[in-house]
Amino acid sequence: MRNVSKVFSNGTVALKDMTLDVARGEFISLLGPSGCGKSTALRIIAGLGAASSGSIDWPTSQLDSKGLPQGDIGFVFQEPTLMPWTTVFGNVYLPLKLQGVSKSDARPRIMATLAEVGLADFAEAYPRELSGGMKMRVSIARALVTKPKLLLMDEPFAALDEITRQKLNDDVLRLWRQSGVTVIFVTHSVFESAYLSNRIVVMKARPGQVSADIPLATSSERDSNYRTSEEYRATTDRVSRALQEAIHLGGGSVGH
């Protein structure tokens, strides 16, 4: 992203001159108060909304007629957004169907992806039969089944209980390590961002801009032991201070 700004029709400046460089294989969290433009930035990157000014460059991808990388982006929304009339298999098949892949050709890839998210035994289940955490796993599988280079995640675990959230955090880290996919993850949670990321971009509101860019390196495996380590505590303290500074600069509130 280069000097990207977004002004809505009512005059609200959601983003102003936002610049963000993303390296292959990074796990970046966008952290900031409500209204700072995190989700807006994600949607612009995904091509789900247009920037008012600025540009987005894709140096390693083949672009389509809209200037977006062909098949290189997966998106996990805040809600699972599953089709209730079809099965788990059918929901995960959707992006491949849109690419013209037959169901028989897609089946091995779909089943392998469901196995990766722990849902191999639920391929024929319907969304109404799943828990909230399982629905989100389906959403993640649907985003990963096309083998994207970039995975965008917009607060996917915000509505889940803490135990489920921590388990899914661990699963996302495992999938990231296994696949090598680049991840940009939107969150309000200092603790979640510090656990998942190797880089945290803190944003301020009014207008949305980058306030701090914090690289994270850890010598420890990120697991249940890391969550109680001094290193993790120190990291969350550091990120909390950066977030408080961003809130002060933007005059915003933490949100949820």
Cα 192 from Cα 157, distance rounded (Å):
10
The answer to whether residues 192 and 165 touch, using CB atoms and an 8 Å cutoff, is: yes
pTM of the model: 0.92
Per-residue pLDDT tens, the chain, 256 aa: give them.
999 999 999 988 999 999 999 999 999 999 998 889 999 999 999 988 899 999 888 766 566 656 666 668 999 999 999 999 999 999 999 999 999 999 999 999 999 999 999 999 999 999 999 999 999 999 999 999 999 999 999 999 998 999 999 999 999 999 999 999 999 999 999 999 999 999 999 999 888 999 999 999 876 788 889 999 999 999 999 999 999 999 988 765 444 3
**Of 158, 144, 236, the residue nearest 190 (C-alpha):** 236
Q: Looking at residue 231, what DSSP letter applies?
A: H
CATH class of 2-72+149-250: alpha beta
Q: List the helix and strand counts (H, then E) for the chain.
A: 8, 9
Cα 240 from Cα 228, distance rounded (Å):
17
The answer to whether residues 203 and 19 touch, using CB atoms and an 8 Å cutoff, is: no
Residue found under tokens 């600025």: 54
Cα maximum dimension of the chain = 55
Q: Which two tokens stand for residue 43?
A: 């949607």
Q: CATH 3.40.50.300 spans which residues of the chain? A: 2-72+149-250
